[in-house]
Structure 1
Amino acid sequence: MWTFGLLRSELGVTFRRWRTLALLAVLAAVPVMVGVAVEIETSDGSSIDGGGGGGGGGPVFIAQITSNGLFLVFTALAATLPFFLPMAVGVIAGDAIAGEANAGTLRYLLVSPAGRVRLLLVKYATTMVFCLVATLVVAASALAVGALLFPLGEVTTISGTRIGLAEGLGRAVLIALMVAASLLGLAALGLFVSTLTNSGIAAMATTVGLLITVQILDQIPQLSALQPYFFSHYWLSFADLMRDPVHWDDLLRNLELQALYAAVFGSAAWARFTTRDITA
């Protein structure tokens, strides 16, 4: 019961912060800007060139927004996943422990019966909840804007088959959950970085810097042998949920990779935090 009380308190503190609300507002604004831009671009009857790129990523989805507003959900998630969503998660995860140390409240949180392990688990659980909430904010904003600006109806999958609107909405929910799960490895990495310093800003900057570095390395052809092990490599595999039948190979690889990162860096965070001298 104490653990749930601590989690409830941590969730309340996190989601009442102006920084968290500002991050969610920025994420919600991205689908609005994409939807308005597509509406303006196609207001004269012209169409958007999907480009045919990238295994069902943003360019393929954005070409279908005008015919079905539901595709704005997929486009918005594809547009925010490479940077905006993980940056927001990096800020929350990086500040989890280091922010408390910087504010001088970490020692008070560790008094019995809280304990270090319990506090670390609560911090990670809070970051996981933020991953889900942030993803759902993007999806909900995109769905609202898509329904307002464009028609809704049957969905044409990447495979060329057609599914009903209800099934399309169901797949949109699955895609949002997959995107949220894709961020769990980064959340564990950010939490580990947060245990290394007493500066929240330094932890956030380091986490975001590592994110950018990994994204760059994932685009270098000479590193193709290492790229399947980068936490961001399978992020856009959520597009396979829009195939008929669904292609599960990369989706499962993504989940396995996120679980591996969560286990490795979660263990590293535990090892560091449970042996660290708390002075703030």
Structure 2
Amino acid sequence: MSSSSLAVKPARGTGARRGLGLDLLGSELSVLFRRRRTWAMLVAVALIPILLAVAVRLSSEALAPGEGPPFLDRVTQNGLFTGFTAMVVAIPLFLPLTIGVVAGDTIAGEAGQGTLRYLLVAPAGRVRLLLVKYIGAAAFSLVATLTLMLAGILIGVALFPVGPVTLLSGDVISVPESLLRSLLVASYVTVSLLGLSAIGLFISTLTDVPVGAMAATIVVSVVAQILDVLPQLSWLHPWLFSHYWLGFAELLSQPLDFTSFGANALVQAAYIAVFGALAYSRFATKDILS
């Protein structure tokens, strides 16, 4: 009788912890996506393909192949390329900027508002809180990339002809299959931003000033991209979290090539592991005064 009672208690405790974790995650996502700042950034991201498409539509000059950002010369031929072109334009600065704002605010924002201590008073635990904060940043990365791609497709359909897509390999695929490729590209870019999200989470544990954490995360992104173009540091390039950001062009060939996708995922996983551990090491020993 006593042994069965002891067996039940851990199960209840585990269920309670799981319930608490889900409640905390739901609360985090609710707060994140109810903020005006979050919606302002998503609107800004959606404006990138819209402005690009309108500019191309109003231009009287035909672009030569290879002129301007990749795929730009194909936009007038097929509106489905608007999303791909906008993604290339947004990756170096605009998407990392939004990720820097969200990831940099994860812990530092709570500390700056004086709510971090109250979050830890609940039996959530510091590890679970860090995990929930990171999942929130990762969720924003997914929503931002999907918003950009969807806006690109919609404005492309509205302003340009749409039909079977000619891939970089010269093969032609149907519109439904091209939409699937668009989803794969958005997934690729989402994965690309996960390492930066982990860096932002770590930086956020170092300060109680969210603006400082946001700025530092964005600066790290810029520095990594500068290092990635220096030929003298070619040995370092494969280890930079930004190295594979534009490698999604392989997803626009036939047959599908996931080489860059796999390499990118491995690099991002390494950054998540390293900076996640650093964030925990810092946060676990940090005196929470606010």
Q: Smaller-chain TM-score range?
A: over 0.9
Which residue type is aligned with residue 64 of structure 2? Answer: D
Aligned to 2:228: 218
d(CA) in 1 for partners of 2:69 and 2:202? 35
Aligned to 2:139: 129
Matched, 1:84 2:94: yes
The answer on whether the counterparts of 1:89 and 1:127 sit within 8 Å (CA) in structure 2 is yes
Aligned to 2:9: none
Aligned to 1:16: 34
Matched, 1:70 2:84: no
d(CA) in 2 for partners of 1:50 and 1:130? 34
Matched, 1:47 2:62: yes
Q: After TM superposition, what 4+ stretches of structure 1 lie above 4 angstroms from structure 2?
A: none
Query: Scaled by the length of structure 1, what TM-score is found?
Result: 0.95
Matched, 1:231 2:246: no
SS at match of 1:277: coil
SS at match of 2:246: helix
Which of the pair has more CA radius of gyration? 2
Query: Scaled by the length of structure 2, what TM-score is found?
Result: 0.91
How far did residue 268 of structure 1 move?
Answer: 0.8
Which residue type is aligned with residue 26 of structure 1? Answer: A
Show structure 2 runs of 5+ residues with no match. 1-18
How far did residue 9 of structure 1 move?
Answer: 0.8
The answer on whether the counterparts of 1:97 and 1:106 sit within 8 Å (CA) in structure 2 is yes
d(CA) in 2 for partners of 1:49 and 1:102? 51
Match of 2:25 among 2, 7, 15: 7
Q: Percent identity?
A: 50
- CA deviations over 1:207-226 (Å, ceiling 9, x no partner): 11111111111111111111
Match of 1:254 among 240, 249, 264: 264
How far did residue 59 of structure 1 move?
Answer: 2.8
- CA deviations over 1:235-271 (Å, ceiling 9, x no partner): 0011110011122222211111001101110111111
Paired residues for 1:144-183 under 5 Å: 144-183=154-193
Greater mean alpha carbon deviation, residues 242-251 or residues 193-202: 242-251
SS at match of 1:10: helix
How far did residue 161 of structure 1 move?
Answer: 0.8
SS at match of 1:96: coil
Match of 1:25 among 43, 49, 72: 43
Show structure 1 runs of 5+ residues with no match. 53-57
Residues paired across the two proteins, number? 272
d(CA) in 2 for partners of 1:91 and 1:226? 27
The answer on whether the counterparts of 2:126 and 2:284 sit within 8 Å (CA) in structure 1 is yes
How far did residue 60 of structure 1 move?
Answer: 3.2
The answer on whether the counterparts of 1:50 and 1:59 sit within 8 Å (CA) in structure 2 is no
The answer on whether the counterparts of 1:95 and 1:204 sit within 8 Å (CA) in structure 2 is yes
